[in-house]
Amino acid sequence: MKNQINIKNKRARFEYHLLEEFTAGMVLAGTEIKSIRVSKASILEAYIVFDNGEVWIRNMYVNAYENGSFYNHKPRGDRKLLLNKKEVNRIEKWLKVKGNTVIPLKMFLSEKGWVKLVISTAQGKKLHDKRHDLKEKDDKRDMDRAMKSF
């Protein structure tokens, strides 16, 4: 089985302080998994919500399957995440505190062919933290260029 899908949320590490990561399964329809396997999905605008003891991903975009008929799915529907009870309780406690959030980082295929989603507990960064990260990135790039010339 090819693990070639590469769906990432690149802005997450810039916008948030990431603290703890979880790997969750997803409940998907047949046309959704077919679209994801051809990398026709995006988690850039997605976020995690807690509802009645269950964890859901909201606003994740999965393009309609081209060969699907009237069985096609909604592109921005809510999808249930599969976590064990201990992880659900930790996420619930985390979301009760103001300023805390849970965001998706990466979507991948497992060895068995199941779609997995890596989510992380996070806190938003301030503007000065973002500037500091950009400065470190520029400094690292300059050092790499200097080392390459030697």
Q: Give me the average pLDDT of each 10-residue run along the chain (150 residues).
A: 74 89 90 84 88 89 76 81 92 89 91 90 89 93 91
pLDDT attached to residue 2: 55
* Beta carbons within 8 Å of 50's beta carbon, 6+ residues apart: 56, 88, 91, 92, 95
- Whether domain 7-125 has CATH 3.30.70.2860: no
Task: For residue 109, report the phi and psi dihedrals to the nearest 5 degrees.
Answer: -100, 135
What local confidence, expressed as pLDDT, does residue 3 receive?
57
At 104 the pLDDT is: 93
Beta bridge partners of residue 123, listed in sequence order: 17, 100
Distance CA 107, CA 74 (A): 19
pTM of full prediction above 0.95: no
Residue with tokens 């300023």: 99
Distance CA 18, CA 28 (A): 26
pLDDT at residue number 1: 47
What ranges do the domains of the chain cover? 7-125
CA torsion through residues 44, 40, 32, 5, sign: negative
- pLDDT at residue 40 in the model: 84
Residues found in the chain: 150
Question: Does residue 100 contact residue 123 with C-beta atoms inside 8 Å?
Answer: yes
Q: E-strand spans in the chain?
A: 7-8, 16-26, 41-42, 47-51, 54-58, 61-62, 79-82, 100-109, 115-124
CB 105 within 8 A of CB 122: no
Give the model's pLDDT for residue 131: 94
